[in-house]
Structure 1
Amino acid sequence: MMNNIEITKNTYCVGKIDDTKVPFHRLILEKGTTYNSYLLNTEKPTLIDTVDISYGMEFVKHLQEIMDLEKLQYVVINHVEPDHAGALGALMNKAKNATIVTTELGKKFLIGMFKLQNRNFHVIKDGETLDIGGKTLQFFETPFLHTEETMVTYSVEDKILFPCDIFSTHIANYELFNDLAKEDITEDFKVYYKLIMHPHRPYVRDMINKIRNLDINIICPSHGYVLRENAKKYIDIYDEMSKVELSTDKKALVLFSSMTGNTSKIAQGLKEGLVEMGIETNVVNIKNADLNSILEMAKEASAIMIGSSTKYGDMIGSIEDVVKEIVKLDLSGKFGAAFGSYGWSGEAVEIINDYLKNSSLTLLDTSYMIKATGDDHIKLPLRVNFTPEEQTKEICIETGIAIGEILIKN
């Protein structure tokens, strides 16, 4: 374990260095990594994040050597993946009086992972503060960086940002601080961003906007180096790399047929999300379009989304004729998804999905999205009951963003 390295007064890094070749998200981290956990030894002792589940018992034993865990008041969990929250179960067996601080969704996940339903939770509200006796913590929700429940923690008096996975590097090191690194870490920092954060860049933009007015002197991420020299440089890198520019090589085609305009609204929501990811997107109502023009657009598109309302258990208008012609094309290397609104059963969406499944394109369904993004909140094919209301409008946009992520990755 790390030997209680002091970052600033009463703030210590107590994490774990893993200098092996680490399996990570279907990759191998050739340079290893660190699992940084931070102890704020204040009047109300507080731990920010833990370590990988593999080192849970070792981590708890180490903490017991430096403090009485029954005096631990708060455990802040910014992100519930097992490389950060993995030691929580073992820790809470010893930290009988500690309250877990996390988001609403984080609480749900942690209870499911560690059976902590009988423990005290403090569910944060975006921007709220918590007095831990000598230091003030402020919390900001940063969803999808890189999972839905994520938040960041800011130590107001010390001007330290604890962003968990954000601003990390995968490098096993014993120096901890970036100004002591034996080589320039900038490229490793950028590679980490590209692998983990870039597909979620609209959410990176949201995060940047939330922390923009904070006075940040030090960034204490959960992997790799603590950025105590020129922290602004690394924020600026995220800011610059997350700016959305219109993609020159990725295009999407959204085709639909609608009875009352509801499926049209879904199509527009998908477009909004795709454009937010920088994907050039054509939305076409097949009622007003020439078949040859549609086929040409389909040949150029990287992703084809087809939607229909349901009437008498079937698609409407001439959309089926268009679908039959599209699936005759060589769609290798392209992605496809079905969507639509419905009143009772929504068969049209499933029929379109079957056509796409039997074509040469890669079908985007719920199973594919979970494996590609790690999130299960995107459900494909996309089916919306009656009129898209505020919540379902947001789902349509988020689905467009998620499909845009797939296109960027591929």
Structure 2
Amino acid sequence: MAATRFVKINEHVHYIGVNDRYTHLFEGMWPLPDGISYNSYLFDGGSKTCLLDCVRIDSVSEFFVKLDDALDGRKLDYVVVNHMEPDHTSSLKSVLERYPECKVITNKKAVTMMENFYSIGEDRAILVADGETIDIGERKLTFYTTPMVHWPESMVCFEEETGILFSQDAFGGFGTLDGAIFDDQVDWEKYREETIRYYTNIVGKYSVQVIRALKKLGGLDIKMICPDHGPVWRDNIGRIVTLYSDLSEQKTEDGVLIVYGSMYGNTEQVAEAIARSLTEEGVRNIRIRDVSKTHISYLISETWNYKGIILGCPTYNVDLFPPMANLVEVLKKQKMKNHILGTFTNYTWGGGAEKAFAAFAEESKWDVLPTTVDVMGAPKQEDLDKCAQLAKEMAEALKASK
């Protein structure tokens, strides 16, 4: 059998996605140590063909080779734009130039973005509304809007006959597809953490909208999920749906994340003392992160994951240590919940950080431990005693929350 550049998903759906191992920061912010995939699918409706989402423009040459191979001499009739973010649409203009008779199937909100991004007008579009079904040759696709998952124009489409959900960014994750395309071909533990980081970094603050979308799609008989990033789910779709459901409901893990900033080591000593006391109180799942060395992407993901959060830093210009101030501002915008918060600070001649942490504690609406540790210079015995008290309160709060 001759080799093909695409992967056959079934008799009428072909995977023609590409891997990006060159981009360092997704959206210019989020690290991609293992790269990312941009998934695209050719849907064969018999007498008509349809492309479901495009890829980033950097990979358009490779993409066209795969698309041409999958089309096998046929023309492209439609391209579905489920989501307008440029990692999926920056090659759209090239697709329409290559296939001038091709029409874009999308929604009204996406058309405005399409015009603004690429000067592609509504005359090239077929507009669909929530719940509307479109014939693609002898097959049908039904479209469901999923606003703010994670852009306002976002939607998904579903083929009822085979139970395939084309889910755009939903159910996706960071990481390239290294030979394997399907969930039963990959090591899920390798992808799980990067899927969590993708959700918490990109989608997390819209978790209320994710819950609504999951409820809307809950009545569909989904047998396969084809997302725009990460593996195609055909064997255990319950695994990815459950993970997204747990993340959207902000279910947390029983453990403590300590994030500290330290200029000369004194605040780090406090973090170490708290961690040691937590261990003596029976807490086994403890992670310490230096806010100056750990990228905010990972701190968001880990904060989302842990029930107990302890933040500490020195006073800097009568305020929080700047890297910690940045983390606190990001956490405010993430709208996280279901956490227990403890804080510790350090100062030399004048405080300020403790007041900033107190303001964050009030605004976060997390459960806040009564003891705070505020050290002047190097920690003394009375400071270490307070560290032990803070750890005791955290351990008791964790037990009470079960």
Q: If the TM-score is normalised by the length of the shorter chain, which range does it land in?
A: 0.5 to 0.7
Residue 133 of structure 1: how far off its partner (Å) = 2.0
* Aligned CA distance change for structure 1 residues 180 and 245 (closer, same or farther; 3 Å): closer
* Aligned CA distance change for structure 1 residues 245 and 55 (closer, same or farther; 3 Å): closer
Shifted more, 17-26 versus 229-238: the winner is: 17-26
1:70-91 superposed Cα distances (whole Å, 9 cap, x missing partner): 7222110111111111110001
1:162/1:220 contact within 8 Å kept: yes
In the TM superposition, 1:160-171 aligns within 5 A as 160-171=164-175
Residue 97 of structure 1: how far off its partner (Å) = 1.4
Match of 2:18 in 1: 16
The correspondence for 2:236, drawn from 230, 233, 256, is 230
In the alignment, the residues of structure 1 paired with residue 183 and residue 165 of structure 2 have an alpha-carbon distance, to the nearest angstrom, of 15
Amino acid at match of 1:181: V
In the alignment, the residues of structure 2 paired with residue 4 and residue 88 of structure 1 have an alpha-carbon distance, to the nearest angstrom, of 19
In the alignment, the residues of structure 1 paired with residue 308 and residue 196 of structure 2 have an alpha-carbon distance, to the nearest angstrom, of 22
* Aligned CA distance change for structure 1 residues 21 and 72 (closer, same or farther; 3 Å): closer
1:70/1:95 contact within 8 Å kept: no
* Aligned CA distance change for structure 1 residues 107 and 68 (closer, same or farther; 3 Å): farther
Match of 2:91 in 1: 87
Match of 2:52 in 1: 48
Aligned Cα RMSD in Å? 3.2
Are 2:129 and 1:125 equivalent residues in the alignment?
Answer: yes
2:106/2:125 contact within 8 Å kept: yes
In the alignment, the residues of structure 1 paired with residue 360 and residue 193 of structure 2 have an alpha-carbon distance, to the nearest angstrom, of 33
The correspondence for 1:75, drawn from 72, 79, 89, is 79
Are 2:202 and 1:212 equivalent residues in the alignment?
Answer: no
- TM-score, structure 2 length as denominator? 0.60
Match of 1:34 in 2: 37
* Aligned CA distance change for structure 1 residues 120 and 232 (closer, same or farther; 3 Å): same
Residue 244 of structure 1: how far off its partner (Å) = 5.7
In the alignment, the residues of structure 2 paired with residue 177 and residue 244 of structure 1 have an alpha-carbon distance, to the nearest angstrom, of 27
2:6/2:69 contact within 8 Å kept: no
> Taking every aligned residue pair, what percent have the same amino acid on both sides?
29
In the TM superposition, 1:184-199 aligns within 5 A as 184=189, 185-199=191-205
1:17/1:174 contact within 8 Å kept: no
In the alignment, the residues of structure 2 paired with residue 302 and residue 90 of structure 1 have an alpha-carbon distance, to the nearest angstrom, of 50
* Aligned CA distance change for structure 1 residues 93 and 28 (closer, same or farther; 3 Å): same
Are 2:161 and 1:154 equivalent residues in the alignment?
Answer: no
* Aligned CA distance change for structure 1 residues 30 and 158 (closer, same or farther; 3 Å): same
Amino acid at match of 1:41: D
In the alignment, the residues of structure 2 paired with residue 233 and residue 61 of structure 1 have an alpha-carbon distance, to the nearest angstrom, of 33
In the TM superposition, 1:11-410 aligns within 5 A as 11-20=13-22, 22-25=24-27, 26-42=29-45, 43-67=47-71, 71-117=75-121, 119-172=123-176, 173-184=178-189, 185-243=191-249, 300=359
1:20/1:31 contact within 8 Å kept: no
In the alignment, the residues of structure 1 paired with residue 87 and residue 228 of structure 2 have an alpha-carbon distance, to the nearest angstrom, of 9
* Aligned CA distance change for structure 1 residues 300 and 121 (closer, same or farther; 3 Å): same
Residue 187 of structure 1: how far off its partner (Å) = 2.9
Match of 2:318 in 1: none
Structure 2: 5+ residue stretches without partners: 253-306, 310-332, 340-354, 364-402
* Aligned CA distance change for structure 1 residues 69 and 23 (closer, same or farther; 3 Å): farther
Match of 2:321 in 1: none
Residue 23 of structure 1: how far off its partner (Å) = 1.9
In the alignment, the residues of structure 2 paired with residue 98 and residue 205 of structure 1 have an alpha-carbon distance, to the nearest angstrom, of 34
Amino acid at match of 1:19: R
Amino acid at match of 1:216: I
Q: 3-state SS of the aligned residue for 1:203? A: helix
2:20/2:35 contact within 8 Å kept: yes
Residue 152 of structure 1: how far off its partner (Å) = 0.8
Residue 245 of structure 1: how far off its partner (Å) = 7.8
Residue 19 of structure 1: how far off its partner (Å) = 2.9
Residue 228 of structure 1: how far off its partner (Å) = 1.1
Residue 188 of structure 1: how far off its partner (Å) = 2.7
2:183/2:236 contact within 8 Å kept: no
Q: 3-state SS of the aligned residue for 1:140? A: strand
Amino acid at match of 2:44: N
2:111/2:122 contact within 8 Å kept: no
Amino acid at match of 2:243: I
2:5/2:69 contact within 8 Å kept: no
Residue 63 of structure 1: how far off its partner (Å) = 2.3
* Aligned CA distance change for structure 1 residues 46 and 303 (closer, same or farther; 3 Å): farther
Residue 303 of structure 1: how far off its partner (Å) = 7.5
In the alignment, the residues of structure 1 paired with residue 92 and residue 144 of structure 2 have an alpha-carbon distance, to the nearest angstrom, of 21
- TM-score, structure 1 length as denominator? 0.59
Residue 53 of structure 1: how far off its partner (Å) = 1.6
Q: 3-state SS of the aligned residue for 2:9? A: strand
Residue 65 of structure 1: how far off its partner (Å) = 4.1
Q: 3-state SS of the aligned residue for 1:106? A: helix
1:136/1:155 contact within 8 Å kept: yes
